[in-house]
A and B are shown apart, each in its own frame.
Chain A
């Protein structure tokens, strides 16, 4: 009676998956609609993308209530984890998709690239990011990462007429595929050492077992760290970042720096700080070196750049170093500090690249310091917004960047990683210098006579205004967001089904 056999399928808690389904199905629907009706107006496509991704963010609210009432749980055979951590990052990723889509709206018209592809890929990439945030299994995490990455490779190469864009896509693809194989090899070795790819089970295993011959496990963690460090752009695996940021379309860079970075850190935090927390003594010191290198290389290389977009790429590397401090702490405080940083940085960086989107002008390639000269007189409001973003990136008090930096450094001090904390403080000082360089061009130098006129489309204005508001509000009242980030902890110790054996 072969056909009468019943296959036990795992329970699926659809409610948990609603944000994920919204974004994934939303992307496929708009793709289908445009293939049926060819001449859908651009505003409809952008509007759809924004509504779908904001819908995913709103769908998190009832789930958050459920989380605070019932605590964390998991579904689909414990491979999808439902906790504050995943919900928090889902909101960050969904909002960054919405904001990048708005930035892309006028960009696509200006560059004569009208079409649905960029929006669909943004949504699909966001879906992959949400899968990463929810994953409680290394394989699910890997699939989410690949969904996210493959969409972003294409997004980087999106600008058909700019060779730099295609070069960026190709470089990102080759190095991204290279690093993914390292991550996957690491997953295979960890599987070999622990007998499972499930993060809860790995954590339990590490809590009760003491491995005498743990070469397989340590090798696996090292390889996974290489793969993840690449994804978040941490030194010495950062070399793709400046090229890809400089070459890719500016709205896409906004998404790379906000959504993709948040998803990458979702992996680092959940895998290293939580699942491998019992053996933090093994992976902590090497990660401290990575964080210090990232901070130093990021802030020092940024100083010598002549292209503002490339400079901001290096500055995003040094920001990754700051967020790594929260990962190294491997504590609740570290995780919530990293989450706070990721959320505020997503708005900061999207706003910054929003301003760059309009300054780049047609062709999307003029980001020299000359392009910023005299901007303070020509476009006072826009310059003021950029000033706030740059000051916040430098970590000036009363902007969200200050509290973000303060919290991760405090978490690192708590975890007794003193020397990295000192490196971070020095890097913050060096970083402030380069942001001031842009400000000086903007406010104290006169524009060239033939400076291109800068006009701010309404959609870009909305994104910039929203980012300014978030940056200032969370800068003056950091507690509003920090309270949420404190609750949004990754909890893997869910009551488990007993596994025989």
Chain B
């Protein structure tokens, strides 16, 4: 049986981050896109904690709290913009948002 090193957490973080990034690029629903951003931020949190454990340093764990606050604030702003759009339009998917181009 191998030992559980922090590298496993780094790999898991990278995988989750990639899932979030690909999801954001291919999905059209704004709520799913926000979830993908959350997924990416939490992958970073996992990376921070894993590295903090590997380095035996508390700094990485503290960073996670800041990131969680930022993630919460970010989704509030995002949802507010979606609500503002939905008041005037039927949909806010990325296909509906195509007035600006060129």
Contact = CB atoms under 8 A, between A and B. Distances in A.
Contact of B102 (A150, A180, A191, A310): A310
A185 B43 contact: yes
Interface stretch (A99-107, A139-147, A276-284): A139-147
Contact of B100 (A178, A189, A191, A246): A246
A306 interface: yes
A169 interface: yes
Interface in B49-68: 51, 54-55, 57, 59-60, 63, 66-67
Interface stretch (A65-73, A159-167, A381-389, A470-478): A159-167
Interface stretch (A192-200, A264-272, A318-326, A334-342): A192-200
A180 B21 CA distance: 12
A139 B64 CA distance: 10
Interface in A151-196: 153-154, 157, 160, 163-164, 166-171, 173-174, 177-178, 180-181, 184-185, 187-189, 191-192, 195-196
B81 A142 contact: no
Contact of B57 (A153, A154, A195): A195
A187 B64 CA distance: 12
Say which size band chain B's interface belongs to: 35 or more
* Most central of B20, B84, B101 by chain A CB within 10 Å: B84
B100 A164 contact: yes
A243 B37 contact: no
* Most central of B21, B80, B81, B88 by chain A CB within 10 Å: B81
Contacts of A154: 77, 80-81
Nearest to A245: B100
Contact of A191 (B17, B59, B84, B99): B59
Given A146-B70, A163-B88, A170 B97 contact: yes
Given A192-B51, A243-B101, A307-B102, A170 B41 contact: no
B84 A166 contact: yes
A187 B62 CA distance: 13
Nearest to A195: B55
12 contacts: A150-B77, A154-B80, A166-B84, A168-B100, A174-B37, A181-B17, A188-B48, A188-B60, A189-B47, A192-B51, A192-B60, A305-B102
